[in-house]
Amino acid sequence: GWEMTLLILSIAPVLAVTGMIETAAMTGFANKDKQELKHAGKIATEAVENIRTIVSLTREKAFEQMYEEMLQTQHRNTSKKAQIIGSCYAFSHAFIYFAYAAGFRFGAYLIQAGRMTPEGMFIVFTAIAYGAMAIGETFVLAPEYSKAKSGAVHLFALLEKKPNIDSRSQEGKKPDTCEGNLEFREVSFFYPCRPDVFILRGLSLSIERGKTVAFVGSSGCGKSTSVQLLQRFYDPVQGQVLFDGVDAKELNVQWLRSQIAIVSQEPVLFNCSIAENIAYGDNSRVVPLDEIKEAANAANIHSFIESLPESLES
């Protein structure tokens, strides 16, 4: 079947090009649609997350218009895409059918001449023609493969990266008691993303157990950063953070954080019962119901919880 093979090979480059054109058109528009929908979704997400601010500023219409404009842009692109993809589809498949006609006509001639069998003709035509189209589509997807490979390398590097502060580590001291004496000793710190800006510089402070201390200052002066250093979300660049005279770096991270109670500016409720939310404060054991009620009383919310239909199970 060398004659049939030669004919199909002469058509194969064009078949490959038509496959590339069709796949490139579909892939390119798919990426563009993804970006447009991403922008629209970002506007919707911002509106939902900040609905109170938007309503207080009476900006509902503005966000609606922005969202509609992004969807209209995507709609216009889709209309253009339909015409272009339709034209590419028509061109590519028309040429494919022309190739079928030429191949089958020439194959019939070879069969009549006794130089090929019907089975051999179909095997040669199918293998080379479909192989050429598959190669063309593969060439188009080669850049996407390279991007995926590069992304996978970064992903696996992130998964294999060992954190400087491992919250799951069992290493470190676990004292039997924690009196609550705190000390910042010549602490300096900057965030890794801004190494040229020191948030704290030479901070020295001692806080004895039982005392109430307020950090007061302008935004960005290091109030929240100091608390994060106590929780050991970060380590100081210089100096030490001491708990009862022991460097925080020597203490077990889980033990250390279990000794600290945090009430943030915006408390977060997990999707479970009130009792389970309160019990999250001590994950080292099963917290008895009496202790949960005691904590609710201490926070002055027990009467409100009791007024709910399911009380602590709400």
- Which conformational region is residue 269 in: left (phi greater than 0), alpha (psi within -120 to 50 degrees), or beta? beta
Give the highest mean pLDDT range of 93-107, 123-137, 215-229, 267-281: 215-229
CATH number given to 2-160:
1.20.1560.10
Q: What is the mean pLDDT of residues 258-273?
A: 78
Write the DSSP string, 222-235. Answer: SHHHHHHHHTTSS-
Backbone angles phi, psi at 175, to 5 degrees: -60, 155
Q: Write the burial class of residue 176 (CB in 10 Å: 0-12 exposed, 13-18 middle, 19+ buried).
A: exposed
- Look at residue 43 and tell me whether its pLDDT is greater than 80: yes
What CATH number matches the domain at 182-258, 3.40.50.300, 3.30.420.40, 2.60.40.10, 3.20.20.190?
3.40.50.300
- Look at residue 303 and tell me whether its pLDDT is greater than 80: yes
Write the DSSP string, 182-230. Answer: EEEEEEEE--TT-TTS-SEEEEEEEE-TT-------STTSSHHHHHHHH
Q: Write the burial class of residue 229 (CB in 10 Å: 0-12 exposed, 13-18 middle, 19+ buried).
A: buried
CA–CA–CA angle 276, 279, 281 (5° rounding): 130
What's the pLDDT tens digit per position in 233-243?
A: 888 888 888 88
- Look at residue 1 and tell me whether its pLDDT is greater than 80: no
Write the DSSP string, 88-147. Answer: HHHHHHHHHHHHHHHHHHHHHHHHHTTSS-HHHHHHHHHHHHHHHHHHHHHHHHHHHHHH
The three-class DSSP label of residue 246 is strand
Question: Whole-prediction pTM value?
Answer: 0.54
Q: Judge whether 190 and 239 are in contact, CB under 8 Å.
A: no
The residues spanned by each domain of the chain are 2-160, 182-258, 274-313
Whole-number Å distance between alpha carbons of 62 and 69: 11
- Look at residue 137 and tell me whether its pLDDT is greater than 80: no
Q: What is the mean pLDDT of residues 34-40?
A: 75
